[in-house]
Every structure is written in C-alpha cells, then in structure tokens.
Amino acid sequence: MEFSIYSDKKFMESAFLEAEKAYEKKEIPIGAVIVYQNRIIAKSHNLVQTLKDPTAHAEILAITSACANLDSKFLSEATMYVTLEPCTMCFGALVLSRLKKIVIGTSDPKTGACGGKLDLASSNLYNHKIEIEKGVLEAKCSGILKEFFRNLRIEKSKQNENLEINLN
Amino acid sequence: MEFSIYSDKKFMESAFLEAEKAYEKKEIPIGAVIVYQNRIIAKSHNLVQTLKDPTAHAEILAITSACANLDSKFLSEATMYVTLEPCTMCFGALVLSRLKKIVIGTSDPKTGACGGKLDLASSNLYNHKIEIEKGVLEAKCSGILKEFFRNLRIEKSKQNENLEINLN
C-alpha cells in the first residue's frame, strides 16, 4: 500500500512535468502519462494551441502513443496519471481504450466527466468501467493551472490598457 | 429547403463512400465528411484496426483534418456528415471543436451519445450546443453496418467449424 502511494505520487510527478512543458508553450498546463507494468509507456501534454487541434488533449495523445508502444488498441492493464480530470472526449476515449484506472491530480468543475461537471465514470452506460482515483498531488496540479489563468488575465488586462492608450 | 435536403443527401453520400473505404479495410464501416461554405474540407473513415488506435474514429480524424485545412482550432460554421451516430468521445470532440451541426445517417443504440444510448447532445452540460439532424440516407448507412457484422459472424462461425475439425 505504501509502495502504491509512493508510486502514484512518482508517476503524477511525471505527469506534472508534462504539464510544465505545456505551460512553457503557453498551452493550458495539463499533462498525462500512461503506466504499464510499473513503467511509463507514454507521456504527453496538451497541444491544442500549438497544433490548432481541439482533439490534441494530453490524454488523447497519450492513448495514441501508448497503443503504438504496446502495438495494441487496448490498454486493459494500464493506468493513466493525468493532472486534470478528463473531459467528455477524453473519458470516452479512455473507455474505448479499456484502460484499467485513471489517477487524477485535480478535479475540473467546468468540464470534468468523472464527477467534476458530469459523472460519466460512475454511470452504467458503458460496457467498460474504469477505476477512478482523485487528489494525487492536487495542490501542485491545480496550482499550475491557477497560475496560468492568473497570468493570462494579467496579460489580457495589460493588452486592454495598451489598446485604450492607443485609442486615446 | 429543397436545396438543403439535396445537399444533405449529397454530402452523406460522400460520408458513405468513406464508410465503404473502411469496409474494404475490414474496419467497422463508418465514414464522415466536414462541410464548410458548401464545400467538403475533410473526409475520413474509421481506422481503429489499421492504426491499432481506439481514438482513430472517423469523426476524430475528420476534426483534425478540417482544423488543419482551416488553420483553426474551431469549426464554428461547419457541419459534419457522419454515417453512424457519434459515441461519447466523438461527441465530446465535436463540442470542443464548436461545430455548428451534426447530420447523422443512422442511430447507434449501443454507444450513440446523441440520443441512441445516452443523450449528451440535448443536455445543458456543455458551453456549446450542436444542432443534430438524424436519418439522412439511413437505410444505406445502417445497411453497410449490418452487412459487415453479418459477414463477421459468418467468418467467425467458419473459423470455429475449422477449429472443431482440426480438434477432432
């Protein structure tokens, strides 16, 4: 059990490092890793702005990468560590991949599909059920998001000030 | 109005041609096209088996392709024509893309997220609402799926017979 908590934190740290990479690219800082047999087989971070692709969430990119790594369309024995609760698209993709477990850093009350905004994860609508664990490195995973959006607001308010100066 | 019905059928025919391409590759025959300003800007078909990627549904591939084509992460003025009702993953992706409208060939009572199995499309859970139209070229779109699964059953039963012969 202690080992499990230790490795949960360790793997979420890796997901967090991915979120930091997204942050540096001015992407919403979300990262994910997929673990199989106690080994990371895929790492990814949000690339929606960079790729101009709304499907380029960390989770989707990680699933594609993990499946390529295992040469399988199923991830039945794998666990995803993701810094923010998956949205509807990503939860749907994780069900399709038959992933065993999702470990979530912080909840998403705006778009989370595992209880944050809606709860697809506990519904009996799907032919595959995924274990859900929440709150691993929560402060860190939510902290980087808060910082990102705070900076974004400051930047926007500066732009508006400059616009006003130019208009005057 | 007549023009709209005409073009709905015309664009669904293009989606159906994509489903046929999937069929030829022994993929579940589902096809999609995305239309913007009365022009097809993306075509795709299910490639889950070929790519061994559970995210490689026709809709996801079409969104990525259409966004690349428009150089935009949003498809606000576009319509998707898809032969089978989108699943949870695909519906979630279409919401993220802010697509205007989904025209569906046939419903999916097993995994459809627009009323077939669950109804995410009429919920007020998302900050973007997509218009839904169903039943365009329904017989054709469901027919190819029925044929695919019938052939799959025949093939499996033949394999089982051969297995029994070999075991005897």
Strand bridging mode A131-134 / B101-106: unpaired
Tell whether the model's pLDDT for residue A1 goes beyond 50: no
- Predicted pLDDT at A2: 44
The answer to whether A63 touches A70, Cβ cutoff 8 Å, is: no
Structure token pair of residue B128 = 């973007």
In this prediction, residue A162 has a pLDDT band, given cuts at 50, 70 and 90, of: confident
* Cβ of residue B68 closer than 8 Å to a chain A Cβ: yes
- Predicted pLDDT at B1: 41
Is A147 catalytic? The answer is no
CB contact under 8 A, B126 and A88: yes
CB contact under 8 A, A89 and B67: no
CB contact under 8 A, B64 and A55: yes
CA distance A19 to chain B (A): 20
CA distance A2 to chain B (A): 33
Position of tokens 């047999």?
A37
Q: Average pLDDT for residues B18-30, to the nearest whole number?
A: 98
pLDDT tens-digit map of B77-95: 999 999 999 999 999 999 9
In 3-state terms chain B splits into helix, strand, coil percentages (rounded to 5) of 45, 20, 35
- The DSSP-derived string for A90-117 is HHHHHHHTT-SEEEEEE--TTT-TBTTS
CB < 8 Å to B111, chain A = 126
pLDDT tens-digit map of A117-159: 999 999 999 999 999 999 999 999 999 999 999 999 999 999 8
The answer to whether A101 touches A66, Cβ cutoff 8 Å, is: no
* Cβ of residue B91 closer than 8 Å to a chain A Cβ: yes
Q: How many Å from the N-terminal Cα to the C-terminal Cα in chain B? A: 64
CA gap B124, B145 in Å, rounded: 31
CA distance B79 to chain A (A): 16
The answer to whether A106 touches A127, Cβ cutoff 8 Å, is: no
CB < 8 Å to A97, chain B = 54-55
pTM of the full structure = 0.94
- Predicted pLDDT at B161: 86
DSSP-based three-state secondary structure for B40: strand
Tell whether the model's pLDDT for residue B114 goes beyond 60: yes
CA gap B46, A98 in Å, rounded: 18
CB < 8 Å to B78, chain A = none
In a mutational test of the A interface, the residue from B50, B51, B55, B124 whose CB has the highest number of chain A CBs within 10 Å is: B55
CA gap A141, A107 in Å, rounded: 10
CA gap B1, A54 in Å, rounded: 32
Q: What is chain B's alpha carbon radius of gyration, rounded to the nearest angstrom?
A: 17
Q: Report which residue type is found at B37.
A: Q
Q: What is chain A's alpha carbon radius of gyration, rounded to the nearest angstrom?
A: 17
**What interface predicted TM-score (ipTM) does this complex get?**
0.94
Rounded to the nearest 5 degrees, what angle is found at the Cα of B91, between the Cα atoms of A104 and B51?
A: 80
